[in-house]
Amino acid sequence: MSSNDNIVLITGASRGIGAATARLFAKNNYKICINYRKDLDSASYLANEIIQSGGQCITVQADVSVEGDVLRLFETVDTELGTLSVLVNNAGVLRTQSRPDALSAERINHLLTSNVTSQFLCCREAVKRMSTKYNGRGGNIINVSSGASRTGSPNEYTDYAATKGAIDTLTIGLSKEVAAEKIRVNCVRPGLIYTDMHADGGEAGRVERLKSKIPMQRGGNPAEVAEAIYWLGSDKSSFTTGSFIDVTGGL
C-alpha cells in the first residue's frame, strides 16, 4: 500500500493515548478517523491540529458499545476516507475504585459492554473490510488492553482488569483466525500512564502515588504508548501477530 492508501480508525481518540496515537499516525501520512463518544471539543481541536499540519482527518461521534453506532462509524469511514487499513481499538472506561464485594450488576455490565462488546463489534466490522475472505486487501488490528489484565488491579479495578483480560483473549483467538486472511491482530498493554482516565476513577494523582512501585520509577506518557501502537500498525511489524507489547515501565 502507498502511504496515500493508509487509513486508520482510532476509537476513543479525543484525548490521552488515542489522541497521541492519532497524531503519530498523521505524521506518517495516514488518513485519520477520530472516534469520540461525548468530548466534541477535544476531538475537534485534535482534528484541526492534524488538518493544519497538512493531514487528512475526520471526526465521528459514536458510542462503540452500541451496535448501530459502530455500523454508522465504519460506514462513515468507508464513505469519507476509503477502505480501512488499520483499526486501533482504544476506547474504554473505568469507574470509581472499588473491591468486587461492592460492585453492582449495573457497573459490571457497563464495563463489559463499554470495554469488551465494543472491541468485538469493531473487530467484526474491520475484518469484514480487511479480510481476503471478503475480497479485502488485508490490514491490522491493534487492541488496547492494560497491564491490569496481568495484575488483576486488586482493591481498585478488578472489574476493569477483567475486561482487559477478555481483550487479551480476543487478541489471541482472532489473530489465529484471520492470519491467513492477511490481517494481523496484536495488543498493547499500557501500565500507569498520565491520562485523564485516572480522574474518571476518582484519583487524578494515582500515577504519582504508585510510581515508586514501577521499576523505572516513573509513569508513562501517552506518546510512549502510541509508538508501540504505531509499530504494530505499520509494515515494520509485518511478521508479528497475536503478540503483546507491555508499555509498563517494567511493572
Which residue numbers are catalytic?
Answer: 160
All 3 cell numbers of residue 234?
A: 505499520
CB 24 within 8 A of CB 88: no
Q: How far apart are the first and last CA of the chain?
A: 37
Ramachandran class of 4: left when φ > 0, alpha when ψ lies in -120 to 50, beta otherwise: alpha
Whole-angstrom Cα distance, residue 19 to residue 34? Answer: 8
Give Cα 223 to chain centroid, integer Å.
13
